[in-house]
Structure 1
Amino acid sequence: MSPCRLRGVYAGHVSFYAPFSKSQLTCFVPGTRRTWWRRGNVVCRLLNRLVMNICGVQWIQRLSDRIEAEPEEWRLQFAYVAAIAVPLLCAFGASPLLAFLDQANIAMLFLLSVVIVAVFFGRGPAIVSTIVSVAAFDFGFVPPRFSFGVSDLQYLVTFAVMSVVGLLIAQLTSRLRFEANLSASRESESRALYEFARDLSGALQTEQIVDVSLAVISRTFDVHGLILLPDADGRLREAPCSSVQASGAPRLGVMDLGLAQWSYDHAKPAGIGADFMPSSEQAFIPLVSPMRTRGVLVLRPVSANGTQTLRQSSQVRSFAALVAIALERQHYIDVAQEVTVHMESERLRNSLLSALSHDIRTPLTSLVGLSESLTRSKPPLAPHQMELALALNEGAMRMTDLTSTILEMARIQSGKVQLNLQWQYLEEVVGSALRACKPALERHVVHTNLASDLPLVQFDAVLVERVLCNLVENAAKYTPTGSHITIAAQVAFDFLEVDVRDSGPGFPKGREDEVFGKFVRGDPESALPGVGLGLSMCRAIIEAHRGTICASNLGHGGARVLFTLPLGTPPFVPEAEDALEVQGVLDV
């Protein structure tokens, strides 16, 4: 049987162990764990036999089991027994000294016993010790002795003073003891938090953070732990961890997963010690970081002590906050690494495209010139030869346009293009863009809805016209014959909003932002010509103007692309001219 100790007894008091293996009895003297009698000593054997004969081994066995099962109750009982025993021992010790000491000095000895009880056992036992001390002093040292009678009423004042002083000593000593214990507890908590934060600072991956967190929390609070992290859809999944931590992790049922999801969605604790579902066998603590909730910490107590800790301790929340901060730090490290890799890949891709485009531009120019010469040769080519020459010229022109687009986009994104910013009206650029796209709009209906009070805006007319041409041509390319295309513009706060929409099938759902990537098409399997650089070029031009561009689908069907240009402060115009309202229907 394992030793069962009366907990709460400090150094300097008797610690009693009662293991009975092979009829052995081991006793410990005050303030030490070393045995008083050696095993095999004649005195020890005689004492063992005497104890077994008087009390019986079974009775001692039951007493030991009861102490082990209810340590708190036995510690409290021992404290009050000591509170009664200490004044009585003081009375027996002071009786032989009555001839040498005055009654006032003996009263001081009883007050000293009250102080000792208050220091080691607290306020309640100290109050009991005060009452016993006054009674023992009256019974053994105040005439007539060995009775509670009083021959002189002045002793009543002495008893009252002893009681008040004893109670004050009990209160002050208890408060001092409480504050000392509180300070020690706070120091222990601060040290544990510091060591935990230091361990987390060295974790460089999510798995390491989870392993360190579960190991420390399980060891500190006597619990089994599990960390759940959200996926891309916000559903909680078990975080990756080492096999050691996974072996002790609590197993979650459907109800437990539902509680964990509720705790994550509402950023509130659930289960043990919480207002929501306190009857659960586990505690669900959300990992709330400064920006968002990073997951849920699930704790299952191993013992009753762990359950009590989860219900009362705020230190668990402090540990959870450190875990959340560590997870958020790791998240931003991953984001920074992804952004760095993306930027580097974009830079390398732009450099490669720029180099390739520049190298193939010269032979393409020669190819265009030769194909045009073939179509204009004298005498004329045969019909089938002319058809081949025209196809060659058309392909060469398409490759030349693509090469120019790639070069221009690479220059814009690298910041090497100087924008020709001029103050001008948007209506003029819209009109020139529609004229340039006239062949592509032959089978569509174009509407313009430009506000009559549009101000002057500073932008590069050539590049913004390129943006409008790309958007209108895309709308015409991906919509059926006879569909409507609308160009609208209005002022919104400090920006000019330009809206191009159509009545076609719209963008693929959920990919509205992806269509602005390089070489990305709405329908990768489409037979329509194009390489997916038009919208990417539009974004590069608009962002160079410090504007924004976005794509969306209309509720009734169709696609919409909206871009903005900053208004700024236009120059003063001496004679204001009425701007023409370009609004109507243009059937090309």
Structure 2
Amino acid sequence: MRIRPYGLGIFGCIALTLLIAPLRTAIDLSNIALLYVLLVVATAVWSGRGPAVVTALLGSLAFAYVFVPPYFSLAITEVQHLITALIMLGVALLVGHLTSTLKNHVEAAKVREQHSRALYVLASQLTAAQTPADVLKISNHFLTTSFSVDDVRIYSPDAFDNLPAPLSPAGLADIIASRNLATVPVPGTTRALTVVPLRVARGLQGVLGFVLDDAGTLTGHARELLEIMASVVAVALERIHCAELAKTTEVKMASETLRSTILSALSHDLRTPLTALVGMADTLAEGRATEPEKQRAMIVAIRDQGLTINRLVSNLLEMARLQSGAVTLNKAWQPVEEVIGASLQQMRMQLDGHPVKVEIMSMLPPVEIDSVLMERALCNLLENATKYSPPGTGIDLSAGQVNNWLEIEICDRGPGLPDGCEAEIFGLFRRGQCESNIPGVGLGLAIVRTIVEAHGGRVDAENRSDGGACFKVRLPMETPPLVAELEAQA
């Protein structure tokens, strides 16, 4: 029992008596009694029920001894004065009790409000948790700030065979069956291992365990708070588990779709040229093409079909290399004209029959790029233009600087892009004309996007107003080292 609150009540009673004793003839007894009742109320608010009862008893004695005639005597001769003293005592005790009860309710409401706020913060933080480790970290912070605990752990069902002492698998099974919070004393200490089952509608997610310094401090409200907290944690773990299942299922479905797409594309785009190769090879082998011109034409066709298969396999290997993240950009300052010229030179055979109109802004500064990869990207765009452009139609290629960006645009005179597919065609195995007889599996533009984005740029596609499609590559331009040094010296 704490002495100080009682001392404050006793001191207040003595001080009030000494203060109003000289005025006892000037103040009515009922008013004096009200002053003592007021003192009891103040004591109840400040110190609680016990000190208020002591103050009420002591105040009644002081009232009867000092203020009720005959003075300084507890022998009350008049019935009216006795009734007044008894009523004062009863009212003081009742008011003190009610005030103390109200104070306890207010304090309990404040605690519940604090706990509700803490639970709200906990639930808000758990919504952002991505892994069970995140849930454990957030739960540990909540428990250590709300209770005096340490060694917070979450035991998943597959870890029930490796439990710390003094918890045993059999004891844990009993706790789980009870569905309630339980404490297991730690031998030789006042501490206790507290275990709360983490249950959701689907089943048991595990148990939450922590070491409490004093299990006796767990009041009914504290136990209720911990069980609510465990429910929130269990829901968070269930959400993470379901998200992982959904992600795994999505990856499996995407992998299956990708596998089917690859098989479908390869079966079409490999079978067609291989069939042609076998047919032309049989024709040559059987001597049915006797004229030199026909033989030469078949040999050229065999070469073209072989190049088609080679480009297909090269694109597959290149995309696999880019997707694996094993590509390191070997950047160097390159003149834009040389990169474009090298790309046109590599594509000279495919561009035969498609006149290319090249417009490059004069005095373009060099750009820091991986020339090999960037030439590959431009070659893929040029190849795409030749595939979809009718024979004899031209291809426009332009390059220029817009603000701090290098823009390279390649436009064709083909059928254009289907409405709404301007962004989708850069995806893996996506094609603008899915049912066309033009060979390809939809890798070229995906490779272009991967290379350009690796350089910090972007590639866009749109339809030309007068027919055809345009592909625009935008690359960031920086000041070359020599120019930067000259500007710094100036």
Aligned pairs for 1:521-540 within 5 A: none
Deviation digits for residues 276-327 of structure 1 (CA, Å, limit 9, x no counterpart): xxx99311111112322111111111x33x6522776211111111111111
Partner of 1:84: 10
Matched, 1:103 2:29: yes
Counterpart amino acid of residue 236 in structure 1? F
Structure 2: distance between partners of 1:90 and 1:109? 8
Partner of 2:233: 323
Aligned pairs for 1:25-424 within 5 A: 73=1, 75=2, 77-230=3-156, 234-236=158-160, 252-253=164-165, 255-258=166-169, 261-262=172-173, 266=177, 268-269=179-180, 271-272=182-183, 281-301=192-212, 303-304=213-214, 307-309=216-218, 313=222, 314-358=224-268
Structure 1 residue matching 2:45: 3-state secondary structure: helix
Change (3 A) 1:265 1:112: closer
The answer to whether the 8 Å contact 2:175/2:181 transfers is no
Structure 2: distance between partners of 1:260 and 1:215? 27
Counterpart amino acid of residue 91 in structure 1? T
The answer to whether the 8 Å contact 1:272/1:310 transfers is no
Q: How much has 1:346 moved relative to structure 2?
A: 0.4
Q: How much has 1:348 moved relative to structure 2?
A: 0.5
Change (3 A) 1:264 1:142: closer
The answer to whether the 8 Å contact 1:271/1:280 transfers is no
Structure 1: distance between partners of 2:234 and 2:219? 18
Structure 2: distance between partners of 1:294 and 1:175? 41
Change (3 A) 1:99 1:273: farther
The answer to whether the 8 Å contact 1:118/1:126 transfers is yes
Structure 2: distance between partners of 1:287 and 1:326? 10
Structure 2 residue matching 1:329: 3-state secondary structure: helix
Structure 2: distance between partners of 1:311 and 1:272? 14
Structure 1 residue matching 2:192: 3-state secondary structure: coil
The answer to whether the 8 Å contact 1:271/1:284 transfers is yes
Structure 2 residue matching 1:297: 3-state secondary structure: strand
The answer to whether the 8 Å contact 2:194/2:209 transfers is yes
Change (3 A) 1:163 1:280: closer
Change (3 A) 1:192 1:270: closer
Structure 2: distance between partners of 1:161 and 1:310? 37
Structure 1: distance between partners of 2:257 and 2:34? 88
Partner of 2:400: none
Structure 1: distance between partners of 2:108 and 2:176? 35
Structure 2: distance between partners of 1:269 and 1:259? 16
Deviation digits for residues 491-546 of structure 1 (CA, Å, limit 9, x no counterpart): xxxxxxxxxxxxxxxxxxxxxxxxxxxxxxxxxxxxxxxxxxxxxxxxxxxxxxxx
Structure 2: distance between partners of 1:289 and 1:84? 55
Structure 2: distance between partners of 1:213 and 1:333? 20
Counterpart amino acid of residue 283 in structure 1? T
The answer to whether the 8 Å contact 2:200/2:235 transfers is yes
The answer to whether the 8 Å contact 2:175/2:182 transfers is no
The answer to whether the 8 Å contact 2:136/2:154 transfers is no
List alignment gaps of at least 5 residues for structure 2. Answer: 280-490
Change (3 A) 1:151 1:267: closer
Deviation digits for residues 52-100 of structure 1 (CA, Å, limit 9, x no counterpart): xxxxxxxxxxxxxxxxxxxxx3x2x333333333222211111122243
Larger RCO (CA within 8 A; separation ≥ 6):
2
Structure 1: distance between partners of 2:144 and 2:41? 39
Structure 2: distance between partners of 1:280 and 1:168? 40
Q: How much has 1:268 moved relative to structure 2?
A: 2.7
Counterpart amino acid of residue 210 in structure 2? L
Change (3 A) 1:237 1:197: farther
The answer to whether the 8 Å contact 1:263/1:284 transfers is no
Counterpart amino acid of residue 252 in structure 1? P
List alignment gaps of at least 5 residues for structure 1. Answer: 1-72, 239-250, 370-588
Q: How much has 1:180 moved relative to structure 2?
A: 1.0
Structure 2: distance between partners of 1:158 and 1:297? 60
Q: How much has 1:156 moved relative to structure 2?
A: 1.2
The answer to whether the 8 Å contact 1:221/1:309 transfers is no
Counterpart amino acid of residue 208 in structure 2? L
Structure 2: distance between partners of 1:106 and 1:269? 54
The answer to whether the 8 Å contact 1:260/1:284 transfers is no
The answer to whether the 8 Å contact 2:56/2:93 transfers is yes
Q: TM-score, normalised by structure 1?
A: 0.42
Counterpart amino acid of residue 292 in structure 1? G
Change (3 A) 1:353 1:261: farther
Structure 2: distance between partners of 1:270 and 1:187? 22
RMSD: 3.2
Counterpart amino acid of residue 218 in structure 2? T
Change (3 A) 1:267 1:288: farther
Structure 2: distance between partners of 1:156 and 1:310? 44
Change (3 A) 1:167 1:344: same
Structure 2 residue matching 1:150: 3-state secondary structure: coil
Deviation digits for residues 361-383 of structure 1 (CA, Å, limit 9, x no counterpart): 679999999xxxxxxxxxxxxxx
Change (3 A) 1:129 1:264: closer
Change (3 A) 1:270 1:123: closer
Change (3 A) 1:181 1:79: same
Structure 2 residue matching 1:146: 3-state secondary structure: coil
The answer to whether the 8 Å contact 1:284/1:299 transfers is yes
Q: How much has 1:355 moved relative to structure 2?
A: 2.8
Q: How much has 1:149 moved relative to structure 2?
A: 0.8
The answer to whether the 8 Å contact 2:30/2:84 transfers is no
Structure 1 residue matching 2:36: 3-state secondary structure: helix
Q: TM-score, normalised by structure 2?
A: 0.50
Structure 1: distance between partners of 2:238 and 2:160? 16
Structure 2: distance between partners of 1:170 and 1:310? 25
Identity rate, percent: 32
Q: How much has 1:265 moved relative to structure 2?
A: 5.5
Change (3 A) 1:324 1:182: same
Q: Give 1 or 2: higher helix fraction.
A: 2
Counterpart amino acid of residue 196 in structure 2? I
Q: How much has 1:226 moved relative to structure 2?
A: 3.0
Structure 1: distance between partners of 2:219 and 2:211? 9
Aligned residues: 274
Structure 1 residue matching 2:154: 3-state secondary structure: strand
Counterpart amino acid of residue 127 in structure 1? V
Structure 2: distance between partners of 1:154 and 1:280? 59
Deviation digits for residues 450-504 of structure 1 (CA, Å, limit 9, x no counterpart): xxxxxxxxxxxxxxxxxxxxxxxxxxxxxxxxxxxxxxxxxxxxxxxxxxxxxxx
Q: How much has 1:101 moved relative to structure 2?
A: 2.0
